[in-house]
Structure 1
Amino acid sequence: MTRINKKAVVKYSANQMYALVNNIEAYPDFLPWCTGASITSRDSDTLIAVVSISISRIKKVFITQNTMQQDSSISMKLIKGPFKKLNGEWKFQNNSEGGSIVSLNMEFEFKNKLLKY
């Protein structure tokens, strides 16, 4: 299983960073490996996202259920895709010195071991 734990201090507010991460349809505009992204359903605090990725010649689509707490956090849980497991959480916190602290904690495991490489 692969785990990612990243934290960054950025010059943008927690609100701005939350809006960026939650703007799933715009992912292809700034993530070079993302070839498509859409939201198939949305209510006040959850959404279903479909994301298409292409790395080298490998093209995959995965679907997540995202649960949001406005300007504070976004949790992701795999519904369908090339993963055996995919869970993650973004957290956004305003920094007293300006800007914000953004953290991403994610764990995933591919169904096909060859995709790991």
Structure 2
Amino acid sequence: MPRHHETRELPYSDEQMFALVTDIARYPEFLPWVVALRIRDDSEHETVADMIVGFKGLRESFSCRVHKQRPHEVIVSYIDGPMKHLSNEWHFRPAEGGGCRVDFMVDFAFRSRMFEALAGQMFDKALRKMIAAFETRADELYGAGRVTSSDGRSESLPG
């Protein structure tokens, strides 16, 4: 069962990264393999969504609950679908000198041995592609090297 934890320092505020990650309705626009998405329920602290992912003719749908604690934490819990389990966490902390530190963790296992074998073979490559998609999306939305402070001011980062 694949599990991954990664920490990155990005030139965006915790609020910006929180907003990007919790804008789940836009995932099909930028995340690889996300074919369709339906928001069932959405509030300030929780979203329930159904997602269809596809790869090389295979399509699976699953449902998850997204717990949101603005602007520091997003925790995804699995409801239903082809997995034995799925958990995903994002933690955002302001970094010294601007930007934020992003801690990302994903842990999952498929019910199907075939899917589990495929996931094991492709997990690292797929994960790198998905992390890159979030970073590219942040660059597109917020401009590389710029950070918006909590009072809404935009400033360039040194470097």
TM-score, length-normalised on structure 1? Answer: 0.94
Identity within the alignment, %: 28
> Which runs of no fewer than 5 residues in structure 1 stay unpaired?
none
Secondary structure of the structure 2 residue equivalent to 1:32: coil
User: Separation in 1 of the partners of 2:31 and 2:46?
Assistant: 23
Secondary structure of the structure 1 residue equivalent to 2:44: coil
Q: Which residue of 2 aligns with 1:87?
A: 87
1:49 CA drift (Å): 1.2
Larger Cα-atom Rg: 2
Q: Which residue of 2 aligns with 1:30?
A: 30
Question: Across the two proteins, how many residue pairs are aligned to each other?
Answer: 117
User: Separation in 1 of the partners of 2:10 and 2:55?
Assistant: 27
Counterpart residue type for residue 81 of structure 1: G
User: Separation in 2 of the partners of 1:24 and 1:6?
Assistant: 21
- For residues 18-62 of structure 1, give each alpha carbon's deviation from its aligned partner in whole angstroms, at most 9, with x where no partner exists: 111100110011112111122101233111011111111111111
- For residues 42-85 of structure 1, give each alpha carbon's deviation from its aligned partner in whole angstroms, at most 9, with x where no partner exists: 23311101111111111111100111101110111110011001
Secondary structure of the structure 2 residue equivalent to 1:26: helix
- In terms of fraction of residues, the more strand-rich structure is 1
What's the C-alpha RMSD, in Å, of the aligned pairs?
1.0
Q: Is 2:6 the counterpart of 1:19?
A: no
1:86 CA drift (Å): 0.5
1:94 CA drift (Å): 1.1
> Which runs of no fewer than 5 residues in structure 2 stay unpaired?
119-159
User: Separation in 1 of the partners of 2:32 and 2:89?
Assistant: 21
- In terms of fraction of residues, the more helix-rich structure is 2
User: Separation in 2 of the partners of 1:11 and 1:28?
Assistant: 24
Counterpart residue type for residue 47 of structure 1: T
Counterpart residue type for residue 3 of structure 1: R
Q: Which residue of 2 aligns with 1:97?
A: 97
1:107 CA drift (Å): 0.9
Off by >6 Å, runs of 4+ in structure 1? none
TM-score, length-normalised on structure 2? Answer: 0.70
